[in-house]
Amino acid sequence: MRNTERFPVEGPNALWQMYKTVSRFKAVRNFVFIQIARYCPSLPVKNWIYRRVLGMKVGNHTSFALMVMVDVFFPEKIHVGDNSIIGYNATLLTHEYLIKEYRLGEIRIGSHVMIGANVTVLPGVTIGDHAVVGAGSVVHKDVAPGSFVAGNPLQVIREGQSG
């Protein structure tokens, strides 16, 4: 199981109750700024939005490609190290709204990490330094430093190198 906190709900599914977990104002503000960042061609401007407006921890020289979608409700739970690349149209989710519960979990992406295009990273996942995630993957478990992983379900293509 990923490193998430679980919160049971009564009544309709958890998505119907999302505004009990996050304010409408925060959701709308985050949505607007995330859409600006998704299309913005300037990496420093994107990182400023992510750090200063959305509260994400973003390292130096980290690059978010065009159309990256960060979590609208809890972007502050995303941490990315230095000199990493988040590929085109990747999605970083820190929440899951399910039928009888919702889950929240931080995403921790190390330094010098390459995340390919169209990757989805689920809540509660840590991706170690120098890891590579192949395009189109669904990251549903931790990725060891230096590893190359790909696919859905996620498979280790090459183990991380020690020392």
- pLDDT tens-place string over residues 69-98: 999 999 999 999 999 999 999 999 999 999
Domains of the chain: 5-158 (2.160.10.10)
What percentage of the chain has pLDDT greater than the value 70? 98
pLDDT on residue 38: 98
pLDDT on residue 1: 62
SS (H, E, C) 16-49: HHHHHCCCHHHHHHHHHHHHHHHHCCCHHHHHHH
> Structure pTM?
0.95
Of the pLDDT bands very low, low, confident and very high (cuts 50, 70, 90), residue 160 is confident
Name the β-bridge partners of 156.
Answer: 149
| CB atoms closer than 10 angstroms to residue 25 | 8
pLDDT on residue 162: 56
pLDDT on residue 44: 97
SS (H, E, C) 50-90: HHHHCCCEECCCCEECCCCEECCCCHHHEEECCCCEECCCC
pLDDT digits (tens, 9 = 90+) for 128-148: 999 999 999 999 999 999 999
